[in-house]
Amino acid sequence: MAASRFRTVHLDAVEPVPVLQGQLLWRPLRATLGVRAFGVNAYTSRAAGDLVVEEHDESGSGAGGHEELYIVVAGHARFTIAGEELDAPTGTCVFLHEPDVLRTAVAVEPGTTVLAIGGPVGEPYTVSPWEFFFRAAPYADAGDWERAAAVAAEGLEEHPDSAALLYNLACFEARAGRLDDAMGHLRDAAAAAPDAVPGWAAEDTDLDPLRGREGFPA
C-alpha cells in the first residue's frame, strides 16, 4: 500500500475476518485504507450458499441509517430484498436508498465477493456501530473478552447511546468477570432500547452471571 497521496490495496490482500459465528467473511476495506468520508467494505464467500450480505436493515441501533450500494465484483450472488429475490452475477449493482428495507445475499458460486458502499444522507459520516461488533468478533470467538470489550468501548466514543454497542459491551464484560461494569452497561442498553434489550437478554448465556441482580432487564 502506498503511503503518499493515494492508497491502494487488492481486495484479496485485505485479510478476511470471520464474523457471525463464521457465517460471513468480512474484509475491512474502510479501515485498511483509512476511509473517513463513507463506509466501504467487502464480503467474500468460501462456498456456494455462504452469506455475502448478512440479513439486516439500516434502521436498527447497530446500523448507520445509510443508503447502500452493493456491487458484485467477483462470482455470482443472489439477493433477497424485502422478500423479493434478485439474481446478481458479476457486475450487478444493487442500490438501496431506503434504510428500513430488509436485505441479504448468498453466494451462488465459491469466491463470490460483494463490495458494499454506504453513507447517511445529509449528515457527516461516522463509522457504523456494527463495524465495532465485527472487529470484536475474533477476540470474542477466541475467548479474549478484555480485548473484545476494549473494541466495543472504542465504539461508544462515537455512539454513546447505541443500545447494541452497550449490550455487546455488557456481554463481553460479563464474560471477563467485570460484573459491575457489565451491569451498568446493560442498564444503559435497556434505557436506550427498552423494547428490545429484555428480549435480547432473556436467553443470552453471556449474561448468566448477572441474572438475579437488581436492574436486570426483565
pLDDT of residue 42 exceeding 80, the answer is yes
Does 204 fall in a domain?
yes
Both 96 and 133 in one domain: the answer is no
Confidence of residue 59 (pLDDT cuts 50, 70, 90): confident
Cβ-based neighbours of 67, under 8 Å, separated by 6 or more: 58, 95, 96, 97, 99, 118, 119, 120, 121
Class of residue 167 by CB neighbours under 10 A (exposed 0-12, middle 13-18, buried 19+): buried
Is 0.85 surpassed by the pTM of this model? Answer: no
Of 119, 154, 186, which closes a domain?
Answer: 119
Cβ-based neighbours of 174, under 8 Å, separated by 6 or more: 182, 206, 207, 208, 209, 210
Q: What is the mean pLDDT of residues 52-58?
A: 94
Burial 44-55 (b: 16+ CB within 10 A, else e): bbeeeebbbbbe
Does 3 fall in a domain?
no
User: What is the domain range of residue 20?
Assistant: 11-119
Both 115 and 138 in one domain: the answer is no
Q: CATH number of the domain that 154 lies in?
A: 1.25.40.10
The 10s digit of each residue's pLDDT in 133-157 is: 899 999 999 999 999 999 999 999 9
Number of domains in the chain: 2
Of 119, 145, 165, which closes a domain?
Answer: 119
Instruction: Determine the distance from the C-alpha atom of residue 106 to the mean position of all C-alpha atoms in its chain, rounded to a whole number.
Output: 17
Q: Are 181 and 217 in contact (CB under 8 A)?
A: no
Does 75 fall in a domain?
yes
Confidence of residue 3 (pLDDT cuts 50, 70, 90): low
pLDDT of residue 110: 95
The 10s digit of each residue's pLDDT in 155-197 is: 999 889 999 999 999 999 999 999 999 999 999 999 999 999 9
Q: What percent of the chain has pLDDT over 90?
A: 82
Does 53 fall in a domain?
yes
Both 18 and 54 in one domain: the answer is yes
Q: Taking Cα atoms as reference points, which of 117, 126, 120, 200 lies closest to residue 160?
A: 126
Does 133 fall in a domain?
yes
The 10s digit of each residue's pLDDT in 78-95 is: 999 999 999 999 999 999
Both 59 and 141 in one domain: the answer is no
Does 83 fall in a domain?
yes
Both 96 and 139 in one domain: the answer is no
Both 133 and 114 in one domain: the answer is no
Both 181 and 109 in one domain: the answer is no
Q: CATH number of the domain that 44 lies in?
A: 2.60.120.10
pLDDT of residue 96: 97
Tell me the three cell numbers of residue 167: 449490550
Tell me the three cell numbers of residue 18: 470471520
